[in-house]
Amino acid sequence: MNGLSILVVEDHAEQADSMVLFLEMLGYKPVVVYKGEHAIKLASTIRLDVVFLDLGLPDIDGYEVARQFQRMPELNKTLLVAITGYGQPADIQRCKEAGIGLHFLKPVDPEDIKKVLISWEQSLTNQCGRFADSGTTATSA
């Protein structure tokens, strides 16, 4: 388990660092940014398979980041996962409308993150030539 390219977008340094440490323990090499603007700039420069996205960012909220990602053809098969304190039905609906595939409330159980990554990586690996051509397939919420 470590073939996925992962971005963590979280403005709270301690939470971002904890997520990165956990992902590194699983064998991944995630990239972290602390602002939505930085995520949008970075997304056009590297391949991304999974983005863990906080919704309450200080500059551009996570919904807008997701909408911007949806406009980038190179990200049209990237799994967007909200990890947030926003858990009302309207928040979940906004996630779906913005193209965010999964929604987790903070604090998220690390086992849930692990299961998502294992499942996503298995679905990608099952596609012929996936890691050779960097193609991915999105799942619905």
Per-residue confidence band for 35, with pLDDT thresholds at 50, 70 and 90: very high
Between CA 130 and CA 140 the distance in angstroms is 19
Q: What is the pLDDT of residue 76?
A: 81
Neighbours of 32 (CB within 10 A): 19
Per-residue confidence band for 57, with pLDDT thresholds at 50, 70 and 90: very high
Q: What is the pLDDT of residue 2?
A: 67
Q: Write down the mean pLDDT value for the chain.
A: 88
Between CA 110 and CA 54 the distance in angstroms is 16
Q: What is the pLDDT of residue 135?
A: 37
Q: What is the pLDDT of residue 131?
A: 41
Asked if 103 and 141 count as a contact pair (C-beta separation under 8 A), the reply is yes
Between CA 109 and CA 41 the distance in angstroms is 29
Sequence-ordered list of residues with C-beta below 8 angstroms from that of 112, at least 6 positions apart, any chain = 104
**SS3 call for 82:** strand
Q: What is the pLDDT of residues 86-137, one digit of tens each?
A: 999 999 999 999 999 999 999 999 999 999 999 998 887 776 444 433 333 3
What domains are defined for the chain? 6-133 (3.40.50.2300)
Q: What is the pLDDT of residue 126?
A: 74
Q: What is the pLDDT of residue 1?
A: 52
**Between residues 135 and 51, the one the model is more confident about:** 51
Mean of pLDDT values over 70-91 = 93
Distance from the first to the final alpha carbon of the chain = 23
Q: How big is the CA angle at 31 (ends 2 and 90), to the nearest 5 degrees?
A: 100
Q: Give yes or no for residue 53 having a pLDDT over 80.
A: yes
Mean of pLDDT values over 17-24 = 96
